[in-house]
Chain A
Amino acid sequence: MRHPENIPTSASFSRDHIQTVGNIFVKDARIECRSVDVFYGEKHAIQDVSLDVGRNEVIALIGPSGCGKSTFLRCLNRMNDTIPGCRVSGEIKLDGQDIYAEGLDVVPLRAQVGMVFQKPNPFPKSIFENVAYGPRIHGLASNKLELEEIVEKSLRRAGLWEEVKDYLRHPGTGLSGGQQQRLCIARTIAVNPEVILMDEPCSALDPIATAKIEQLMDDLREHYTIAIVTHSMQQAARVSQRTAYFHLGKLIEVGETAQIFTDPRHQLTEDYITGRFG
Chain B
Amino acid sequence: MSNRTEENKSSNQGIRTHEIVKAGLHRRRAAEIRFKAYGFICIVAGLGFLMALFGNIIAHAWSAFEQTYVALDVTFDESVLDPEGKHDAANLASADYPALTKRSLAAMFPEVKDRLEKRSLNALLSSGAAYELRRVLAKDPALLGKTERIWLPVDDDVDMLVKGQIDRDIGEGDRRMKDYQIAWIDKLIASGRVEKRFNKQFFTSGDSREPEMAGIWGALMGSLFTLIVTGALSLPIGIASAIYLEEFAPRNRWTDIIEVNINNLAAVPSIVFGLLGLAVFINFFGLPRSSPLVGGLVLTLMTLPVIIIAARSALKSVPPSIREAALGIGASQMQTVFHHVLPLAMPGMLTGAIIGMARALGESAPLLMIGMVAFIVDVPGSLTDPSTVLPVQIYLWADSSERGFVERTSAAILVLLAFLITMNGLAVYLRKHYERRW
Contact = CB atoms under 8 A, between A and B. Distances in A.
Contact of B328 (A79, A108, A112, A125): A79
B436 interface: yes
Interface string B318-344: 011111111111111001000110001
Contact of A133 (B2, B324, B332, B339): B339
Given A126-B438, A133-B339, A187 B324 contact: no
A112 B326 CA distance: 14
Contacts of B331: 107, 133-134, 137
B251 A84 contact: yes
Interface of B: 2, 251, 319-332, 335, 339-340, 344, 436, 438
Interface string A65-96: 00000000000010100101000000000000
Q: Which of B328, B339, B438 has the most chain A CB within a 10 Å cutoff?
A: B328
B324 A138 contact: no
Q: Which of A114, A125, A191 has the most chain B CB within a 10 Å cutoff?
A: A125
A119 B328 contact: no
Chain B contact residues: over half helix, strand or loop, or mixed? helix
A20 interface: no
Nearest to A115: B328
A129 B320 CA distance: 19
A-B pairs with lowest CB-CB distance, top 4? A111-B330, A121-B321, A134-B329, A110-B330
B322 A187 contact: no
Contacts, number: 73
B103 to A, nearest CB: 76
Contacts of A187: 325, 329
A160 B366 CA distance: 61
A41 to B, nearest CB: 13
Given A82-B324, A191-B329, 11 more contacts: A79-B324, A82-B323, A106-B327, A117-B324, A117-B328, A125-B438, A134-B329, A137-B330, A137-B335, A169-B438, A188-B329
B329 A114 contact: yes
Contacts of A217: none
B344 A124 contact: yes
B318 to A, nearest CB: 10
B413 to A, nearest CB: 42
B330 A119 contact: no
A223 to B, nearest CB: 18
A149 to B, nearest CB: 18
Contacts of B344: 124
Contacts of A117: 321, 324-325, 328
Interface string A144-182: 000000000000000000000000011100000000000
Nearest to A190: B329
A187 B321 CA distance: 14
A133 B339 CA distance: 10
Given A1-B2, A124-B344, A134-B330, A184 B438 contact: no
A171 B329 contact: no
Contacts of B330: 107-112, 114, 134, 137-138, 191
Nearest to B340: A123
B438 A121 contact: no
Contact of B327 (A79, A108, A112, A133): A79
Contacts of B320: 82
A183 to B, nearest CB: 11
Q: Which of B321, B329, B344 has the most chain A CB within a 10 Å cutoff?
A: B329
Contacts of B332: 107
Nearest to B321: A121
B322 A110 contact: no
Nearest to A173: B436
6 contacts: A82-B320, A107-B331, A110-B328, A111-B330, A125-B438, A129-B438
Nearest to A114: B329
A124 B322 contact: yes
